[in-house]
Chain A
Amino acid sequence: MKEFKHIIQDPVGIHARPAGFLAKEIKKYQSAVTIVKGDKSCKATSVIQLMGMGIVQGDEVIVRVEGEDEEACAAAVEKYMGENL
């Protein structure tokens, strides 16, 4: 399992479009990606769940990537989040 931390930069937190593209990015890989904030967590492939977490600017989230191609997947997710969220 790969894990990294990310602080949300976007002024409106995680919203529909970047979340949707994140989901599309992840679906290219086999691995499962989980986003954790405090005691809540969700599948990163679900736009609805991700928005339902109520993540706002400045929140620190933990991203967990698990699967056969977790190395490549984690790298792609980290890059995408760094640039867009």
Chain B
Amino acid sequence: MIVATGTKISDGIAIGRIRILKEHKYEISYSRTEDKEGELARLEYARSEVQKRQRILYEKAMESAGEEGAAIFEAHELMLEDEELIDPCKELILQRGYKAEYAIWSGFDKTAQMFREMENPYLRERSVDIGELKNALLDVLSGWEVEEESDEEPYILVAKDLTPSETVRLDQKILLGIVTQEGSSNSHTAILAKSMNLPALIRCKEIDKEWEGKIAILDGEHSCIYIDPEAQFLKEMTAKRDERQKQEALLSLLKGKENKTLDGKTIKVCANIGDPSEIEDVLENDADGVGLFRSELLYLNSETEPSEEEQFQAYKRVAQALAPKQVIIRTCDIGADKSVSYMRIRPEENPALGCRGIRLCLTRKDFFKRQLRAILRASVYGNLGIMFPMIVSSKEVRECNALLAECRRELEEEGVAAGQMLTGVMIETPAAALCADELASEVDFFSIGTNDLIQYTCAIDRQNADLEDFLDPYHPALIKLIQMTVEAGHRHNIQVGICGELGSDPMLTEMFLKMGVDELSVNPGSVLPLRKKIRSIDITGTQSKE
């Protein structure tokens, strides 16, 4: 048995076979060659090979997924048939003497760009197909083999690193747990793993290719993974895992019960989600609503900017499914650290301090207005709220509110219905916490984002895994800023919630409630444990504990 350690994201236990996420990066050489005929032949070879593979995939998919699911592979095969797609590549070889790899890279990119710029969303998405074909051709030229996916068997995923969009795309039904070599416990991927309630281990330095296919136990409680465990140990851990699952089932008995402290104060416990597909988790865990809908995932998971209509559909789906519960949508919080190619955000020295969140939105007003319009339209179908991220001044809030009003007016003129909703700001910069009184007069609620608030208060990059030892999540400065925010909010009679990671920390629940926090919004998987905790707290100290 091998034991490898890392940093845990949750206490869960996962037992199953390991699957290693293959990295495949292409090394594209810009070097030129005299052997043009040879490169043309390689291009044609790759083309016919990919066509063959697409045909095999098509037939395989016909069996497992039927006509509709298989169609894409046939479309790919037919697209490769088209000389228009291949000619630009041939030209790069014949006229410029590039090797086939670069010719494909550059030629296909040009075609993909043409599709990306199209109006029709269906055709815009075809840029993805062009990209996939490009990769398939490069795979052939590099001799890289696509692995047969053993679809049905549940597995523990081991990877060097995972991007947020990769994490979301994993099939949750058969994903038992995640182990990565990099990442930090505040990274977006870790947050996502937590919200998917997946056992996860990060910064596991000893990851080894040899693990592929082996039975492993991911032990969150002890922050480690055991490879090839002995039979007796496997049995013990399986029993332990089942026990945990039983505990979780017991927690589920709390569902439907009132969320009151011992002395009778009702606390709202909401869920944080990033995608409409998580609606089920919200309902399953009986959350009082959604305190934070991270709308940026809609942008990060798309190859092109989601249109107003696409966004409207996503928000409407969440609003409708959860009505009359409230869903608070945080407007797009992307920047150079969470970037997407189509946004063409320039890399920055200091992305955390750069053009992100509301700064990006107020710089690109048309982009921002598409989202505001979509939210306004969707608010007709349920109980939506909206909040703005990365606010540092009341001037920004007034600007946001003015844009929101402008969108409302425009919709009215177009005869399109727009609903009423509460507006709020994220308190996630020290500036916002210190000016909370001024901000409170512009909005209906505050939501404290503790992750960014601690990063900006302590000047510690939360993506930098090496600094984790310096990051004290209970730093007194952070606690003071939270307290100031709650007091300022209540002076102006507005609600104050916490939607950051600290909200689910049971060590802090009592303190937060004593400060007067009205709402806690946590990952769906933390809702029930938090409710259990709340029901054991006596805020005023008037109820004797049994």
Kindly specify which of B98-106, B121-129, B179-187 makes contact with the partner chain. B121-129
Which residues of the other chain, B, contact A19 by a CB distance below 8 angstroms?
78
Check B75 against A20 for contact (C-beta < 8 Å).
Answer: yes
Residue A51 at the chain B interface, CB threshold 8 Å: yes
Check B120 against A48 for contact (C-beta < 8 Å).
Answer: no
- B111 — nearest CB in chain A belongs to which residue? A48
Check B82 against A46 for contact (C-beta < 8 Å).
Answer: yes
Q: Which chain B residues (285-331) contact chain A, with CB distance < 8 Å?
A: none
Residue B114 at the chain A interface, CB threshold 8 Å: yes
Q: Which chain A residues (14-55) contact chain B, with CB distance < 8 Å?
A: 15-17, 19-21, 23-24, 45-49, 51-52, 54
Check A16 against B120 for contact (C-beta < 8 Å).
Answer: no
Check B84 against A16 for contact (C-beta < 8 Å).
Answer: no
- A27 — nearest CB in chain B belongs to which residue? B81
Which residues of the other chain, A, contact B236 by a CB distance below 8 angstroms?
none
- A15 — nearest CB in chain B belongs to which residue? B122
Check B120 against A20 for contact (C-beta < 8 Å).
Answer: no
B116-152: CB near A (< 8 Å → 1, else 0) gives 0011101100100100000000000000000000000
Check A51 against B78 for contact (C-beta < 8 Å).
Answer: no
Which residues of the other chain, B, contact A21 by a CB distance below 8 angstroms?
78
Which residues of the other chain, B, contact A13 by a CB distance below 8 angstroms?
120, 122-123
Residue A12 at the chain B interface, CB threshold 8 Å: yes
Which residues of the other chain, A, contact B76 by a CB distance below 8 angstroms?
16
Residue A56 at the chain B interface, CB threshold 8 Å: yes
| Bound form: Cα–Cα A56–B124 in Å | 13
Whether A51 touches B123, Cβ cut-off 8 Å, given contacts A23-B81, A23-B82, is: yes
- A11 — nearest CB in chain B belongs to which residue? B122
A43-82: CB near B (< 8 Å → 1, else 0) gives 0011111011010100000000000000000000000000
| Bound form: Cα–Cα A76–B122 in Å | 27
Residue of B74, B81, B84, B122 touching A49 (CB-CB under 8 A) = B84
B39 to chain A, nearest CB (A): 22
Check B84 against A46 for contact (C-beta < 8 Å).
Answer: yes
| Bound form: Cα–Cα A16–B72 in Å | 9
Question: SS class of chain B's interface: helix, strand, loop or mixed?
Answer: helix
Check A16 against B129 for contact (C-beta < 8 Å).
Answer: yes
B239 to chain A, nearest CB (A): 52
Check A56 against B120 for contact (C-beta < 8 Å).
Answer: yes
Chain B: interface size category: 20 to 34
Check B120 against A54 for contact (C-beta < 8 Å).
Answer: yes
Residue B85 at the chain A interface, CB threshold 8 Å: yes
Check B82 against A48 for contact (C-beta < 8 Å).
Answer: yes
| Bound form: Cα–Cα A16–B111 in Å | 14
Residue B83 at the chain A interface, CB threshold 8 Å: yes
B83-114: CB near A (< 8 Å → 1, else 0) gives 11100000000000000000000000001001
By CB atoms of chain A within 10 A, which of B81, B114, B118, B123 has the most? Answer: B123
Check A16 against B75 for contact (C-beta < 8 Å).
Answer: yes
Residue B115 at the chain A interface, CB threshold 8 Å: yes
Check A52 against B114 for contact (C-beta < 8 Å).
Answer: yes
Residue B71 at the chain A interface, CB threshold 8 Å: yes
A56 to chain B, nearest CB (A): 6
Residue B79 at the chain A interface, CB threshold 8 Å: yes
| Bound form: Cα–Cα A52–B110 in Å | 12
Which residues of the other chain, A, contact B119 by a CB distance below 8 angstroms?
54
- B86 — nearest CB in chain A belongs to which residue? A48
Check A47 against B82 for contact (C-beta < 8 Å).
Answer: yes
Check A48 against B84 for contact (C-beta < 8 Å).
Answer: yes
- A52 — nearest CB in chain B belongs to which residue? B114
Which residues of the other chain, B, contact A46 by a CB distance below 8 angstroms?
82-84
Check A20 against B78 for contact (C-beta < 8 Å).
Answer: yes
| Bound form: Cα–Cα A19–B76 in Å | 12
Which residues of the other chain, A, contact B114 by a CB distance below 8 angstroms?
52
Check B115 against A51 for contact (C-beta < 8 Å).
Answer: yes
Which residues of the other chain, A, contact B120 by a CB distance below 8 angstroms?
12-13, 54, 56
Which residues of the other chain, A, contact B122 by a CB distance below 8 angstroms?
12-13, 15
Which residues of the other chain, B, contact A16 by a CB distance below 8 angstroms?
75-76, 78-79, 126, 129
Check A17 against B74 for contact (C-beta < 8 Å).
Answer: yes
Check A54 against B78 for contact (C-beta < 8 Å).
Answer: no
Check A17 against B118 for contact (C-beta < 8 Å).
Answer: no
Residue of A17, A23, A47, A48 touching B71 (CB-CB under 8 A) = A17
| Bound form: Cα–Cα A45–B114 in Å | 18
A13 to chain B, nearest CB (A): 6
Which residues of the other chain, A, contact B85 by a CB distance below 8 angstroms?
47-48
Which residues of the other chain, A, contact B129 by a CB distance below 8 angstroms?
16
Which residues of the other chain, B, contact A51 by a CB distance below 8 angstroms?
115, 123, 126
Which residues of the other chain, A, contact B77 by a CB distance below 8 angstroms?
20
Whether A20 touches B123, Cβ cut-off 8 Å, given contacts A48-B84, A52-B114, A54-B118, is: no
Q: Which chain B residues (358-383) contact chain A, with CB distance < 8 Å?
A: none
B287 to chain A, nearest CB (A): 37
Residue of A12, A17, A52, A56 touching B78 (CB-CB under 8 A) = A17
A–B pairs, 16, beta carbons within 8 Å: A16-B78, A16-B129, A17-B78, A19-B78, A20-B75, A20-B77, A23-B78, A23-B81, A24-B78, A24-B81, A45-B82, A46-B84, A48-B79, A48-B85, A51-B115, A54-B118
The 5 closest A-B pairs by CB, nearest first: A20-B78, A16-B75, A48-B84, A46-B84, A47-B82
B residues apposed to A, CB below 8 Å? 71, 74-79, 81-85, 111, 114-115, 118-120, 122-123, 126, 129
Beyond A20-B74, A47-B78, 11 extra complex contacts between A and B, CB < 8 Å: A15-B122, A16-B126, A20-B75, A20-B77, A23-B78, A23-B82, A45-B82, A47-B79, A48-B85, A48-B111, A49-B84
